[in-house]
Structure 1
Amino acid sequence: MKFYVTFPPGLEEVVKQELQNCYKVKIEKAERGRVYFRGSEKLIPDLNYWGRYWERVVWLLHKDEVKDLEEIYKKVRSIDFSFIKPNQSFAIRSKRFGEHDFTSMDIARVAGQAVIDSYLSSKNKRLEVNLDEPDVIVRVELIDNLLLVGIDTTGDDGLHKRGYRIYQHPAPLNPVIAASMVKISSWKINETLVDPMCGSGTILVEAAFIGKNIPPGHLRDFAYKKLFDMEPTQKKIREVDLNLIGIEKFKKHVEGCKKIVKNLGLDIKIFQGEAERMHEYVENVDVIVTNPPYGLRIGRKYITKKLYKDFLKEAYNILPSHGRIVFITPMKRFMRKIANKIGYDINKEIKIEYGKLPASIFLLKC
């Protein structure tokens, strides 16, 4: 079977490495924000249940060049949808990238009719359309002239919707990015990991999930269950004491973070304090992974630059020679300048699209 996974653009190497090392799939192509590969249908549950570093798993039915809506109809009409049960409903979820003289809604309308006509031809039954809660989601994406048609095995809620956020931070970090940052840091379970600007604790929770081998999808459901009678692989939870520490300036976020951690049954230490004074809360630190404020509002940039500078100086003074920092920010030029000035080695800079914001993930070494 052919598949592709989607994720925040920039994480291609993280995703490829995970797919090859943990799922033994054959990578066909990687492009910004998605990786195409071949594998068994038996992988579908695990790709969703254990998928830390991607947001969606799509079973790819058709990939071809098209010129217009008429060709889209013909390509979708040619697909055999007989795997859908007669009593099941479906919906088209369409996206369009590039310049076209039609809209995503036009694509959905044409593709939807093509699915209905294809099924009517093969099964002599008109499939029901349910736009709100479909049993089967057909993804139709047009990237310039490239048409992708597939079955969404994840569901309308992407895999970044883990299900553990009982407290909503005003600027939460995507858990897929958080988990990827932990992976980029090369953190080992016997090392102390600190997030000194932890917000609601997403980085720390994802580190705990990785360290204890907890499936990121254990609190949610998946669309593939409507089509495949398969269960994900159950792996033993790693019973290990992790040294994960969070520091957060604002009391309401500290309390919210503690609620999330307690609800998940994780042992993570959370302190109210300032990143620039880390030494007051932690003695030994091996790895720092953090998502600091971005200072995008008018008048905040100076304050944010001072925070970055003071925090990086503090970290440089307390990290050992093998210490690492992973840090995401849109203030790329300033970050390079201040990191070099303090004495860090900028080991990696990964350009990433966080929503519509161009940012970089930096890996700094002492």
Structure 2
Amino acid sequence: MAFSSAVCIYDNSLLLEKSIHRLSNQPRTPSGHIKFVPMKIQATDVATPSFKQSFQSQEVTEKSRKVPLPAFDFKEYMIAKANHVNKALDEAIPLQHPQKINEAMRYSLLAGGKRVRPILCIASCELVGGDEGLAMPAACALEMIHTMSLIHDDLPCMDNDDLRRGKPTSHRIFGEDIAVLAGDALLSLAFEHVARNTKNVSSGRVVQAIAELGSTVGAKGLVAGQIVDIESEGKGVSLSTLEYIHVHKTAKLLEAAAVCGGIMGGADAASVERLRKYARSIGLLFQVVDDILDVTKSSEELGKTAGKDLASDKATFPKLMGIDEAKKFAARLVDEANQGLAFFDHVKAAPLYHLANYIASRQN
């Protein structure tokens, strides 16, 4: 697909201007700071074309499923869980001294998003017999880590992006220095939040979950993927290298979500590894779909800069495979994810079956 950088810049600047205008109308604290509140998802939000389409099955996923999806209102499940997560995230970071850093943390953390990672954590916990309360601290921690990675990824020294979730990126609002510190603070808070707030789970399991989170972020996880991604810009990259990048940059955090949910819910080692296998498949699926959307959707539809990878000559799945083959690869990943759930109760696993389908058919 041909890509015009001029069109991208024009499209991006208009969206950025609209976003800054919306920010000027945000409520403020008595001291004059912007007060960021979590977005509450309503049923009416699902009626908008882009959001509604995200929950509709596409032909590729219909053909790829080898088992029928169990009857389940996935849309309502996602809305309810996302609102519970947003409430917990809001309570996790009050506006306190020093106010600037807490404001910056809240700005990115409460900016919206689908909350796929925390919901995956909760659904995995419920699948193995736990409940939402057991998983919520870890679920919030995962969203904090994810938000940190977005803040840092958008910095001028990394991807140099202006838009995230339809709003100006953190460094555009607060400056690079505060953005870096906000990301650092969110990462630190993630581990503290799990350690302090997890209740009715053995200390051994809490430590196990914290260790999983630590390995996910560090030199064996997100950092490893980011380094190889940076070093690969402008170079010929093999498909195996591209998979390595995105297994580490994208899939690792989804793996951690499923694994931590399983741990908190009391799963045995075999069940935890089955959840890991499922999550690795949907994590790679998430990136394949993301790459396809990057060259088929506009910045306004995506809520972030479209065509950025193509403009910076980064390797993507459509670039290496072509869009048609990338779609077939996505279908195979849905199959692999479903196979990972085969050992679990089909009805209890309904949210996870539907989540794989949702990721494959999302439109932004």
Q: Larger strand proportion, structure 1 or 2?
A: 1
Q: Does TM, scored on the shorter chain, surpass 0.5?
A: no
Point out the structure with max Rg over C-alpha: 1
What TM-score do the two structures reach when normalised by structure 2? Answer: 0.24
Point out which structure has higher relative CO (alpha carbons under 8 A, 6+ apart). Answer: 2
What TM-score do the two structures reach when normalised by structure 1? Answer: 0.24
